[in-house]
Chains A and B, each alone.
Chain A
Amino acid sequence: MKTISLTTVSLAALLASSLVACASEEDALETPAPGASSSSGGTVDPQALECTEKPQGRTYVDFGGIDLATTRLNENIGVNRGRIKPYSVLAGEYTRVLGAAPASLAGQAGSFDAPAPRYFEEPRATGVGISAMYGVSFEGALVMAKAGAKYAAAPDATTAPAECAAFLGKAFSRTPNTSEIDNCATFATTKLAKETNPQRKWAYVFANVLTSTGFLTY
């Protein structure tokens, strides 16, 4: 299997993504509040993430006289979403986007910490899970790319934006913004030079999308 030697870049990217993820409490929230600036690459007004007009609700006290509502976080409605999709839904989600679930997905329950019967565990984005997700995504994306005549040619300045937009829209269930399309197309046309197989180039592009928050969360 031919791979792309981007270790240095990936380490930098890893650190960058981690720092972005951990930069501030506001950054942890996946979606902006209504009215928040969400332009691509722009900043989100922290106030829009907060509950600036706190409604007066009922008071609930425990037997010790403690107001139980004091544990509530200062967040706006609709901002703290983005749960990781559980393993149990991935086959359906891959089918929705790729047309079929990758064959190896069925044996990956352990990689995704699928809960025991009659039990529930909130899925988490672990290193093992992300790695497995990428491998499974690449496998499924390659099958799709091999089946599509339009993927016989490598992505270029014309086809990459168009295919990225279409695939992002399908995977994220929404119209992608310009920045997302540009990032995807740039990756497709400038970061895969060492991969000579056009279909594998497309598979890398699609696997990236399928390992991003837009697809991984709901």
Chain B
Amino acid sequence: MLQARADCTFVPLACALQFCRFVNLRRIAPVLVLLAAGAVALRGRSAKADDPDPKGRNERCATRLSITLLGKSADAALLAAAKPEDSIDSMLTSPAFYDRLASFVNAQSNGAPAASPLQDPVYFLARHMIEQRKPWRDLYIGAYNVRAATDGKSLEVVEDANGLGYFRTAPWMVRYAGNESEGVRISAAYHMIHDTTGFQVPASVAKPGEDRTATGRKADACKNCHFDSWFALDKAAAVLSRKKVAADGTVTFDPTTITATTLLNKNLASDKDLVTTLVSSDAWKFTQCRMVFNFLYGRPENQCEAPLFDQCVAALEKDGTINAALAVVVKDASFCQ
């Protein structure tokens, strides 16, 4: 987004100064002149329902829809359409849309791209949910596994009674196994809470000699996040299997280490209890519709968009799919405004 707060707008000063080091200013002089002269004039335009330029309005709407939903420039037919919004339903059932939204969800859950498709269970399961119009909560608690496909080059989704969304898939468990000395999967517990409720807490960096064991985590500076708060990471991690590393470096997970815990105002006995509780909350619904706004607008919903946000949540509650929730927002007249 073009924002002044963090990174300013168009050509932020800090960025521009960095830019000056290696770019021949003479080469870009014309654009800078126009930027300066037109900065005020060029801002302040949008497509509106009462636009005196309906052709332009439709072109802008077509462009916005196509780029947002498909990641592609609008084709000639869409650009010329009298009502580009009529194409939304077909866009929402296109492979390009499945890929784009699944990629977006993947990026929300993982802080960096995976090196290989075999390490991307979130993408493949999210895409399955979107493409098959499955209940969105099953991305987190559904009885699925995401395993290597027969070609060995990608992952495939299969039904598995022992599944728990992507949280019990091997690539995800390994990626977020963490480095706790006793194999306590604090990192996994945090990501379960974050992915479902949007909750964020910055990871602390160990100081030399600092006790990072369970005893150390009970110290005053640490115990709130690890034991006392609603998201108490050690309590959440207690219901997860522990990581074990063999002499050859192979990582496995030991389910015999699971212990019941009291968290989220419940007695939790398993990772399924934990995630089911998280997904049954208002925070989960809120986070999913905020994700929808971030996908469609590149920013969270604002105060004036609260009613539309509530419609998104209502659609998610009624239909259960992310498809329905997203359709409500993108089909609203304000999207092409």
Residues of A within 8 A of B (CB): 3-7, 9-25, 27-32, 34, 36, 38, 40-41, 44, 51, 53-58, 60-64, 68-69, 71-86, 88-93, 95-96, 115-122, 124-128, 130-131, 134-135, 169, 172-175, 177, 179-180, 183-184, 186-187, 191-192, 204-205, 207-209, 211-214, 216-218
Interface centre among B11, B29, B231, B298, by most chain A C-beta atoms within 10 angstroms, is B29
* B5 sits at the interface (CB 8 A): yes
Do B306 and A57 touch across chains, with their CB atoms under 8 A apart? yes
Give Cα distance in the complex from A24 to B8, angstroms: 10
Residues of chain B within 8 A of A96, CB atoms compared: 73-74, 79
User: A62-B283, A68-B283 known; A7 and B11 CB under 8 Å?
Assistant: no
| A20 and B40 contacting across the interface, CB-CB below 8 Å | yes
A-facing mask of B293-317, CB < 8 A → 1, else 0? Answer: 0000111111111110110010000
Residues of A within 8 A of B197 (CB): 62-63
Interface residues of B: mostly helix, strand, loop or mixed?
Answer: helix
> Considering the complex of A and B, which 6 residue pairs feature the smallest CB-CB distances, nearest first?
A92-B73, A127-B19, A21-B9, A57-B306, A28-B4, A13-B36
Whether B219 is near chain A, meaning CB under 8 Å from some CB there, is: no
Closest to A94 in B: B73
B33 touches A13 (CB 8 A): yes
A213 touches B43 (CB 8 A): yes
**Given contact pairs A10-B28, A82-B1, A122-B298, A131 touches B19 in the complex (Cβ within 8 A):** yes
Closest to A73 in B: B302
Chain B residues, CB < 8 A from A7 = 25-26, 29
User: Which residues of B have CB within 8 Å of A29?
Assistant: 43
B103–A212 touching, CB < 8 Å: no
B24: which A residues are within 8 A, CB to CB? 3
**Cα-based distance from A187 to B37 in the complex (angstroms):** 9
Residues of B within 8 A of A41 (CB): 40-41
Q: Is B107 an interface residue (CB 8 A)?
A: yes
8 A-B residue pairs with CB within 8 Å: A6-B26, A17-B35, A54-B303, A64-B230, A93-B63, A119-B110, A174-B56, A183-B41
- The residue that A80 contacts in the complex, of B13, B102, B299, with Cβ under 8 A, is B299
| Residues in A whose Cβ lies below 8 Å from that of B18 | 127
- Report yes or no: A10 in contact with B67, Cβ–Cβ below 8 A: no
Residue of A nearest to B122 (CB): A118
Residues of A within 8 A of B57 (CB): 174
Complex contact B30–A17 (CB within 8 A): no
The segment from B44-52, B161-169, B170-178 that touches chain A is B44-52
Query: What residue in chain A is nearest B305 (Cβ atoms)?
Result: A77
Q: Which residues of B contact A40 (CB under 8 A)?
A: 40-41
A77-B337, A174-B57 known; A10 and B32 CB under 8 Å?
A: yes
**In this assembly, does B183 line the interface, its C-beta being within 8 Å of a C-beta of chain A?**
no
